[in-house]
């Protein structure tokens, strides 16, 4: 049973455990009120569990001592875990898990002009898209990577920035509603992942084919596996290049499915109204 030691926290974090536990508790309560489908349950709990594994187990240790594991961690934090969570459309379910007084309070706050202006800025599609790309590329700058791996505060800021921007971005892309109330148009949701994957593919290709060690910090920290620095670096670049682009493509397909559904809805209504009786005939 030695494999269970993998799930022992490498660096215990009470705030992280509290956030994950609170999210799970609210979703479980809200799911009883909304009676959601099994697929949304699977998506939410898989994403939440993945966040825990990525941030609060020994995987974090390996991410500090091996470049390709570091890229795997960020692939999960930036792409897979947020994509799974947002595919569950959790906002209303989480709100439904709040006590009645708090639900009324959130409704009041949500209608306040200040809140609307704030979210209009922070969730602006252009801004969120830029932050999503920057959160990947900025931390890959060798000098920035060097400092972030030595200072635990910067290291945690790096991981949280990657996770938060991932949640913000995939919340926009996987929104299944028409626009408005969704902040991004359905066509934009389809095209955006195609745009954002390009700089990540280019960065991954550069890292993969570079023939010098860009990240000697992992030698300084001590590598966890017997891999040469260049092989480790090439694996990390490939992870950025191929799997990350694959998750972006998956997001595009989900957004395309929503676009097709939304484009068919008005036609379906027209077909129904066309065959609906006009009413009683006057005699």
Q: Give pLDDT tens digits for 144-167.
A: 999 999 998 999 999 999 999 999
pLDDT of residue 84 exceeding 90, the answer is yes
Q: Which own/partner pairs from 192-197 qualify as long-range (CB within 8 Å, at least 24 positions apart)?
A: 192/125, 192/129, 192/255, 193/248, 193/249, 193/251, 193/252, 193/255, 194/248, 194/252, 195/129, 196/129, 196/132, 196/133, 196/169, 196/248, 197/244, 197/245, 197/248, 197/249
pLDDT digits (tens, 9 = 90+) for 108-126: 888 888 888 888 898 999 9
In a domain, 283, yes or no: no
**Strand ranges in the chain using DSSP code E only, listed in sequence order:** none
pLDDT of 2: 63
pLDDT of residue 234 exceeding 70, the answer is yes
pTM: 0.87
> Which tokens hold the place of 106?
């959130």
In a domain, 3, yes or no: no
In a domain, 200, yes or no: yes
pLDDT of residue 272 exceeding 50, the answer is no
pLDDT of 199: 93
Q: Region 185-210: what's the mean pLDDT?
A: 92
User: Per the structure, how many domains does the chain have?
Assistant: 1
Residue 59's domain comprises 9-272
In a domain, 248, yes or no: yes
pLDDT of 179: 78
Percent of the chain with pLDDT over 70: 92
Q: Region 245-264: what's the mean pLDDT?
A: 89
The secondary element (H helix, E strand) that includes residue 34 is: helix 14-34
Q: Report d(CA 241, CA 126) in Å as an integer.
A: 23
pLDDT digits (tens, 9 = 90+) for 31-83: 988 888 899 999 999 999 999 999 999 898 999 999 999 999 999 999 999 99
In a domain, 282, yes or no: no
Per-residue pLDDT band for 180 (boundaries 50, 70, 90) equals: confident
In a domain, 280, yes or no: no
Q: Report d(CA 47, CA 41) in Å as an integer.
A: 10
Structural contact between residues 223 and 65, judged by C-beta atoms closer than 8 angstroms: yes
Q: Region 95-108: what's the mean pLDDT?
A: 88
Percent of the chain with pLDDT over 90: 56
pLDDT of 271: 43
pLDDT of 10: 76
> Which tokens hold the place of 230?
């260049």
Between the alpha carbon of residue 209 and those of residues 18, 203, 235, 277, the distances in Å are 41, 10, 10, 67
The SS3 of residue 174 is coil
Phi, psi of 99 (to 5 degrees): -60, 155
């Amino acid at each position: 049973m030695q494999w269970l030691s993998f799930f022992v926290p490498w660096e215990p974090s009470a705030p992280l455990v509290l956030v994950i536990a609170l999210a799970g508790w609210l979703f479980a309560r809200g799911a009883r009120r909304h009676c959601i489908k099994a697929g949304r349950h699977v998506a939410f709990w898989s994403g939440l569990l993945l966040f825990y594994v990525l941030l609060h187990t020994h995987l974090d240790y390996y991410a500090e001592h091996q470049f390709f594991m570091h890229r795997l961690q960020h692939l999960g934090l930036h792409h897979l875990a947020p994509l799974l969570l947002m595919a569950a459309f959790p906002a209303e379910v989480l709100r439904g898990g709040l006590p009645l007084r708090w639900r009324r309070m959130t409704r009041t706050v949500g209608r306040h002009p200040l809140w609307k202006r704030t979210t209009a800025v922070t969730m602006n599609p252009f801004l969120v898209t830029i932050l999503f790309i920057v959160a990947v590329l900025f931390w890959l700058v060798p000098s920035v990577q060097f400092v972030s791996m030595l200072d635990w505060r910067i290291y945690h800021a790096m991981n949280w920035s990657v996770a938060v921007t991932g949640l913000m971005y995939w919340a926009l892309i996987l929104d299944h509603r028409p626009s408005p109330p969704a902040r991004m148009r359905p066509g934009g949701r389809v095209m955006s992942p195609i745009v954002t994957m390009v700089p990540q593919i280019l960065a991954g290709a550069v890292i993969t084919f570079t023939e010098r060690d860009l990240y000697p910090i992992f030698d300084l920290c001590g590598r966890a596996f017997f891999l040469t620095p260049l092989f480790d670096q090439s694996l990390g670049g490939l992870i950025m290049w191929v799997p990350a682009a694959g998750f972006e493509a998956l997001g595009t397909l989900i957004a395309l499915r929503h676009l097709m559904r939304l484009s068919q809805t008005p036609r379906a209504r027209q077909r129904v109204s066309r065959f609906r009786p006009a009413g009683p005939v006057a005699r």
